[in-house]
Structure 1
Amino acid sequence: MSSPDAADPQPVEAKRPTDHLPPVEAPTAAFIMQLFLIPLAIVSIVVLLWLSFSWLAQAGRDDPKKLVEELRRGTDVSWQSGYTLAEVLRSPDPRYDELRRDSSLAKELVSLVESDLAHPLHGGNDKGDVLRIKRRMFLCRAIGSFNVLDGAPLLARLANEEKDPLEVSVRLSALEGLATLARNVGAEELRKDDKVVQAVLEASRAVEDSAVPTPKSADGEYQPRSEVRAVAAFTLGVIGGEKARDRLTLMLNDPYSSARYNAATGLCRQGDEAATRVLKEMLAADNPQAAKDETTAADKDRKRIAVLVAGVQGTMALAEHNPQADMQPLIQALKDLSTDPLEQLKSDRTKVQNLATEAYRRLEKRG
């Protein structure tokens, strides 16, 4: 094909294929009806039918009664109802405030989990087991999202129940549920149940079972019980109290970085300067510990960012809860972070730098 700038030869007058066609006439109303209006009507009907089916499919999606009915059936997809119910309860929508205070519903969900626990898993990564574990996980999250304490004993139990390796996921969800519950009902209220506190303390001491092989990779190793310790440390930080504080202080030396970092941020909420050493580690841009337990490059990047952000937030929490704390080492760490090029990060560099800069300026003004 020639370029637009090239000189085109003059066209030769040729016989057109339309020379023998009948003359063009204006289209009739019947023709327009057939060509446009009828197909438009068909398309409109199809769209209306699709919208109707869509509405029917969504109707009752956030109806707790229908969701509980589906959960009672215990089908292979009932875990999806558990997920939806957990999302409804966790929603900030005030329409669900009354639902979150529904003690009878909370007890019903507890009963569903207890009924499922009465039947042992088959073992060996059975497909049915996997679906049952999913269901338990989402029910734990839902139970933790209430503003009543009816589910606390069950969550405390599940935080340490592990008869099958798959149940580690349920332990994590139970601990997360307790942390959410502490926020909803108040940490002091949850601390009144010493069995709950003791259960979280026990979970914070979870150790890897050397008899059970864990999947390894060149970059990291999945350590499920270390993850349990990490989430337990976070939950202890939310629950607070002397027992939690003593345990978190010991966990500042935990070999698993996530557990160590959650212990530090938990102590910051209580204004404990003991967290300073670990906070400085978290705020270091070249911290080799931040992502060493992650496997993929994307996960490593996400974890590095999460650790840095948590370090900044923890520093500000320490300053807020302990105005007399010596913040100079952390102020210097924030200054260094705000000016670091953060070449280790693949994303969100500006976000981290801005966050560190703002925290540094605020603490500097405070003096």
Structure 2
Amino acid sequence: MARDDRAVGVSSFEGQATSAGQASLAGEATGTASASGPHFAAGPPAETGEPLRHPPHGEGDERAGEVSAGGRGRPSRAPPSLSWLLFSRLVFPGIFLASGLAGLLTLREIVAPPLDMPRILSGLERGGSARAEALTQVHEAILDPRYRDLKADPELAESLIRVLETELRQPITGSPEFTVAYRAQLCRLVRELDTPRTVPVLLIAVECRIADTPQLDSPIRRAAAEGVVTALERHGPDCVRSVPGGVAALCRAAKDPVAPVRAAAAAALGHIGGDEVCDLLREMLHDDTDVVRYNAAIALAYAGRGTGLDTLHEFLRSENVRNLADTGSTESVIGDRTCKLLCRALFALDRLCDRSTEERLAVLHPAMEDLCLSRAPEEVRTLAMRVDLKIERFHR
């Protein structure tokens, strides 16, 4: 019996130890312990009557960091910034697309599809629809910077000159408006050719009279006179003087009943110069149409004569020039023409300052200053500044 009692005592002691150990482990797991005896987990603060206590600021983040550092948690990622979203979604794709587009445009400027020149020249000679198709191809190509050499092609120049001569001899058939527009466009196409051989046929077209009224066929004469101006700017006055009756044809065109033709003829005569021509230009200063007067004054200044300075001052103070100076816009037809005429006037004044001692040039000084400080296109402001500096230096 003594052995059994000892066995029961040992068993009872082991049971108490086991219960105490389990209670201790439970207390460690719940974070509560008692000084003696078994450990019991305390209930939540709401059950015990204690107020809720929030952990100090940053304590939770530190614990989360400790968990992450220990490898037992997943690190949190900060959301991307707005600037990065804009750059990655808008700026970077935009840069990529712009670079690709610039590369394609550069490649297009370098690589030009070859032109079938034998077929084009054959179409120009055959006439009819084949000629119209060939002229369309030439017009598109000759204005394309990738085909710069086309303007100096001698075979194309000879073919277009023959076509224009043939068209000028033909009477108007069918719709007169279409025929006039077609031949005027042909004159503008011949004007693009960089050769003085176009001048004789353009001088013939300057006096073209194939319609019942001078107003109807005036686009042909105007386009031809403007083509002569372009040839004079490229090749000098000898390209007209060397043509028999060339100067006389321009003088007759200066008395054309249609004002735009007279204005273009005056611009051409300014490149030729001479006493007889300048006398005619002085008469044109009293023309009823302002654009004719302005072109005559510009032509006189280009020829080194200061007779038209008062008319030039009138042009510089005109409403069209003021609008161009205030807005700087050349999108409209009037704005574009005014800008071109103003550039020609300033260039002629620049030449006049180098060749003349006219004291009346000082009257243009306020107008030059206004243009320098205006919103006019950069080319206009640059020319005005150059002229103004010469006027100030000349009258200092």
TM-score, normalized by the shorter chain, greater than 0.5: yes
- With over 3 angstroms needed to count, the CA separation of the structure-2 counterparts of 1:199 and 1:84, relative to structure 1, is farther
Distance 2:217 2:286 in 1: 27
Distance 1:272 1:92 in 2: 37
Asked whether 1:100 is paired with 2:152, we answer: yes
In structure 1, what is the equivalent of residue 229 of structure 2?
179
Unaligned runs of 5+ in 1: 1-53, 208-224, 292-296, 342-346
Q: Quick check: 1:145–1:181 contact (8 Å CA) kept in 2?
A: no
Quote the offset at 1:131 in angstroms. Answer: 4.5
1:152 pairs with one of 199, 218, 222: 199
Larger relative contact order (CA 8 Å, sep ≥ 6): 1
2:125 pairs with one of 72, 75, 78: 72
| Overall identity of the aligned pairs, in % | 24
Larger gyration radius, structure 1 or structure 2: 2
Q: Quick check: 2:315–2:321 contact (8 Å CA) kept in 1?
A: no
Matches within 5 A, 1:119-268: 119-122=170-173, 126=175, 129-146=176-193, 148-164=195-211, 165-207=215-257, 225-268=258-301
Distance 2:140 2:294 in 1: 28
In structure 2, what is the equivalent of residue 275 of structure 1?
308
- With over 3 angstroms needed to count, the CA separation of the structure-2 counterparts of 1:301 and 1:117, relative to structure 1, is closer
Quote the offset at 1:151 in angstroms. Answer: 3.5
Quote the offset at 1:198 in angstroms. Answer: 0.8
Q: Quick check: 1:283–1:337 contact (8 Å CA) kept in 2?
A: no
- Alpha-carbon RMSD across the aligned residues, in angstroms, is 3.8
In the TM superposition, what whole-angstrom CA distance separates every residue of 1:112-169 from its partner, at most 9, and x where no partner exists?
Answer: 223333432136xx1xx54443442343234344455444332222111122254211
- With over 3 angstroms needed to count, the CA separation of the structure-2 counterparts of 1:112 and 1:298, relative to structure 1, is closer
2:347 pairs with one of 294, 309, 313: 313
In structure 2, what is the equivalent of residue 359 of structure 1?
387
Distance 1:300 1:184 in 2: 26
Quote the offset at 1:67 in angstroms. Answer: 3.2
In the TM superposition, what whole-angstrom CA distance separates every residue of 1:302-342 from its partner, at most 9, and x where no partner exists?
Answer: 455455444433322211232x2222112233235556x7x
Letter in 2 for 1:163: I
1:114 pairs with one of 158, 165, 186: 165
- With over 3 angstroms needed to count, the CA separation of the structure-2 counterparts of 1:142 and 1:100, relative to structure 1, is farther
Structure 1 or 2: more helix by fraction = 2
Distance 1:269 1:113 in 2: 31
Distance 1:198 1:338 in 2: 39
Q: Which secondary structure state, in structure 2, belongs to the residue aligned with residue 274 of structure 1?
A: coil
- With over 3 angstroms needed to count, the CA separation of the structure-2 counterparts of 1:78 and 1:59, relative to structure 1, is farther
Distance 1:155 1:335 in 2: 39
Quote the offset at 1:352 in angstroms. Answer: 5.4
Q: Which secondary structure state, in structure 2, belongs to the residue aligned with residue 246 of structure 1?
A: helix
Distance 2:334 2:195 in 1: 38
Q: Quick check: 1:155–1:177 contact (8 Å CA) kept in 2?
A: yes
In the TM superposition, what whole-angstrom CA distance separates every residue of 1:59-79 from its partner, at most 9, and x where no partner exists?
Answer: 444x55443333334345845
TM-score (norm 2): 0.57
1:284 pairs with one of 307, 311, 317: 317
Distance 2:237 2:309 in 1: 24
In the TM superposition, what whole-angstrom CA distance separates every residue of 1:23-59 from its partner, at most 9, and x where no partner exists?
Answer: xxxxxxxxxxxxxxxxxxxxxxxxxxxxxxx9xxx84
Q: Quick check: 1:79–1:134 contact (8 Å CA) kept in 2?
A: no
Unaligned runs of 5+ in 2: 1-107, 325-330
Distance 2:196 2:333 in 1: 35
TM-score (norm 1): 0.61
Quote the offset at 1:248 in angstroms. Answer: 1.4
Q: Which secondary structure state, in structure 2, belongs to the residue aligned with residue 273 of structure 1?
A: coil
Distance 1:261 1:280 in 2: 10
Distance 1:108 1:180 in 2: 20
Distance 1:116 1:248 in 2: 32
Q: Quick check: 1:87–1:142 contact (8 Å CA) kept in 2?
A: no
Quote the offset at 1:278 in angstroms. Answer: 1.0
- With over 3 angstroms needed to count, the CA separation of the structure-2 counterparts of 1:250 and 1:153, relative to structure 1, is same
In structure 2, what is the equivalent of residue 15 of structure 1?
none
Letter in 1 for 2:347: Q
In the TM superposition, what whole-angstrom CA distance separates every residue of 1:73-129 from its partner, at most 9, and x where no partner exists?
Answer: 4345845643654676678889628x6272x54343232223333432136xx1xx5
Q: Quick check: 1:86–1:141 contact (8 Å CA) kept in 2?
A: no
Quote the offset at 1:205 in angstroms. Answer: 0.1
Distance 1:289 1:275 in 2: 20
Q: Quick check: 2:241–2:247 contact (8 Å CA) kept in 1?
A: yes
- With over 3 angstroms needed to count, the CA separation of the structure-2 counterparts of 1:161 and 1:330, relative to structure 1, is same
- With over 3 angstroms needed to count, the CA separation of the structure-2 counterparts of 1:258 and 1:107, relative to structure 1, is same
